[in-house]
Amino acid sequence: MSNTDLTQLGAKPKAPRVPLKWDHSATAISETTTLAIERSRAIRDKIAALPRSSCTFENVFLELAKEESELENTTGPLTFYQYVSTQDELRNAANTAEQRLNEYGIEASMRIDVFEALKAAKANIDKEELKLAPEENRLVEKLLLDGKRNGLDLPEETRNQVATLKKELSNTCTEFSKNFNEEKGTVTFTKEKLKGVPEDVINGYGKKDDEYVVTFKTPDLMPVLKHAQDPETRKEILQASESKLAINVPLLTKAIDLRRRLAKLMNYKTWADYVEEDKMIKTGKAVEEFLADLRKKLTPIGLKERDELLKIKKEQHERYGYPFDNEFYICYYDNAFIEKFLDLDDNFIKEYFPVEVVVPAILEIYQELLGVKFRVSPEKVGTWHPDVQHFEVWDADATTEKDFLGDVYLDLYPRENKYSHAAVWGLIQGFLKQDGLRQYPVACMVANLAKPTPSRPALMRHDDVVTYFHEMGHVFHGLLSRTTFGRFHGTSVARDFVEAPSQMLENWCWEPSVLRRVSSHYETKQPLPDDLIEKLIKSRYVNIGLFSLRQLFFGTFDIKVHTDTTGEIQDYSKFWCDLREQVSLVKTGDKITPGQGSFGHITGGYDAGYYGYLYSQVFSADMYETVFKKDPMSAESGKRYRHEILLPGGSRDEMDSLKAFLGREPNSDAFLKSILGTPNANPSAANL
């Protein structure tokens, strides 16, 4: 299928929705947020005023579900401006709106009168022995659990303390994120100090006097860490990157302390126990055991890999005349290992992955696999920046407007003040409206792919291709979910499962047939040759022990600070650096650096949850090996995945979705085989 086929769709029925508008002013953001909060508060007032004997599923649970979705869908696009807008006033207004919404969310969550109405409605449902649909039962269960987790069973004085601390925590995390999003640090180097960095990358850097200006955004940073020959250059930029958000250190310390105090007030042993309660893993202790067991399995592998990399380092330092310290710091020698033993040059490989080829090719693969079609809207649809693309998404065999699935925006290139990593935002939840019509979802993928240089088009490292494929997995989780209630839509699943579908989809980027489809050398237009494909696939698990230990380090730091009940850890910067060396076997340098100030996950919803990246790999590996490995492009398997994993979202227990997809209980065989070479003798996702 050619790229132009993205715009083709039979008779082209009109999408049954009004596209989002992106022409807000700062005043409009503020005023709309105010109205949305007032409307939400009025609905909750009405529910709270109901006589307890008159509380029903319809006038309490359904009304709250409707109110939640209306508030989310009205304000989600407004707060999104803080991550993507080029205008200071819009970013500031969006940030302020998010703070106000977070504060209102705490107010709403602490309303004992609404909680009493919920309990009365549940009692009336039970008394009348009403039969609810499975998703309706889940709504009842989750709303009541929310009340308990918000401390509404506690005495009034304690509830007031909880509300105050939650507001303080919310504001602290919002400030942390604002600093993260608006970070503008740079390091300058002479051309000599950048020796080894690809010429096209250097040409893309800004210049100040006779030096090149390197930012900490991925397209700038990673080529220096992976290719700069001079170890002092790599050390300088690594330590600068680790220190770029020192401003966030007191904010993170404050957030951790607030969480510790909140957990105690709400009668949880630790903040981790509070967070894990509604996840698949259930307790903080189970997280600690999972990470400790994995560390025990991975450390011997990582030590062997480290020794091999130190041999390469010694060889290079002797060759170039650098002193050898017998220490390992970061990915330069990982890349050198691949170049030496696999004769695989990362910079040469990326010549086969022009952005203009990869992006539409990956869209085509998703369309084929999941039975959907992208279409450029026949009507003019605005965006927040000229670089942004918009597509309608339809069922592949669409003939009527009922086959419309939703909208997607792609914001793929770096710019100042834009979110600096890759992520997906669900801007609009999908759900079934009370008139029986569907609210269609809207998703946006934000990335920072390389831009063209004077000598080359925009090219992607293979790592970037994997990341793009992963993030598109989140996009489709949002677009292809079909739930009754917005709170269960798409990626609104347990946080330690949410990455599993996208992690599974990364496997496509290591399949020979897919690599041929997404590659085309920017000059010769030829796909990756078979010998390079073979080398690339062999590189996948090179130094997998060290790679996994790095993830383990992040998860361990996260769980340690959120299971510390006494404030025993006094210096989080020292703890960060010491733990990094102990777990990941990698040093930061010769000084303590505040790397935790850049750990955005810990204030962005993944607190006591980073373990989920590794935990969900147990499920993702099992899903791929069991269903897709024999034929990754099987339309039948794609349909099964769409129906059993994507469609239900969080409307049923994640384990039920897994069992329906796999045809059995999940196990850790495939995961352990991928990183250790052999499966566990007694595999279990829960006991890995």
Catalytic residues: 471
- The HSE-up count of residue 527 (CA atoms within 13 Å, CB side) is 12
**How far is CA 483 from its chain centroid?**
21
Name the token pair of 43.
């609905």
Reduced to 3 states (helix: H, G, I; strand: E, B; else coil), residue 416 is: coil
Residues facing 443 on adjacent strands: 408, 426
Q: Cα torsion at 58, 63, 68, 70 (round to 10°)?
A: 120
CB 661 within 8 A of CB 622: no
In terms of Cα–Cα distance, which of 128, 127, 117 is closest to 62? 117
The beta strands (E) that lie in 331-416 are given as: 372-375, 389-395, 404-411
**Could you say which DSSP state residue 401 is in?**
G
Query: Can you tell me the distance from the alpha carbon of 445 to that of 55, in angstroms, rounded to the nearest whole number?
Result: 41
3-state helix, strand, coil in the chain (%, to 5): 60, 5, 35
CB 440 within 8 A of CB 478: no
Q: Which residues contact 183 (CB under 8 A, 6 or more apart)?
A: 216, 244, 245, 420
In terms of Cα–Cα distance, which of 603, 561, 493 is closest to 263? 561
Name the token pair of 566.
């006494």
Amino acid at 38: E
Q: Which residues contact 483 (CB under 8 A, 6 or more apart)?
A: 135, 430, 431, 432, 489, 648, 649, 650, 651
Name the token pair of 451.
């831009």
CB 405 within 8 A of CB 440: yes
Beta strand 431-432 pairing with 423-428: unpaired
DSSP letter for each residue of 504-525: HHGGGGG-HHHHHHH---TTT-
Q: How open is the CA angle 34-39-41, to the nearest 5 degrees? A: 95
In terms of Cα–Cα distance, which of 546, 547, 571, 550 is closest to 561? 571
Query: Can you tell me the distance from the alpha carbon of 237 to that of 94, in angstroms, rounded to the nearest whole number?
Result: 32
CB 40 within 8 A of CB 67: yes
Query: Can you tell me the distance from the alpha carbon of 664 to that of 340, in angstroms, rounded to the nearest whole number?
Result: 43
**How far is CA 617 from its chain centroid?**
14
Name the token pair of 226.
């992976």
Name the token pair of 513.
């047939």
Query: Can you tell me the distance from the alpha carbon of 525 to that of 565, in angstroms, rounded to the nearest whole number?
Result: 59
Q: How many C-beta atoms lie closer than 10 Å to residue 547's C-beta?
A: 18
